[in-house]
Amino acid sequence: MRAMVLDLAPRQFAVVQTWEVGDGEQDGCVAAWGVAYEDGSAEVVSTDGVRRFGLASPERAVRWFGVKKEGVAARLVWLAAPDRTTA
């Protein structure tokens, strides 16, 4: 059962915002956490818990968190898959 659950578990990701702080240096933060399902859809929640989205794909979250301010870019960072060898 454990192996089946691990194989079917949705993938987790973060939506990270980055911006330049000067001299080519970047700063950033995690803006949201998300879960991607096998059918390609995703659910995303902002880190403050205020915004929740049901999206057709995880990549659409980048649009919501990357257009708020000029100079701010957003990207997905996938969490590592669990070690399935321990199941």
> How would you class 4 by CB atoms within 10 Å of its CB: exposed for 0-12, middle for 13-18, buried for 19 or more?
exposed
Range(s) of the domain holding residue 73: 2-86
> What confidence score (pLDDT) does residue 87 get?
46
Q: What is the pTM of this model?
A: 0.81
Domain count, the chain: 1
pLDDT in tens, 18-53: 998 888 899 999 999 999 999 999 999 999 999 999
- In whole angstroms, give the CA distance from residue 25 to residue 41: 34
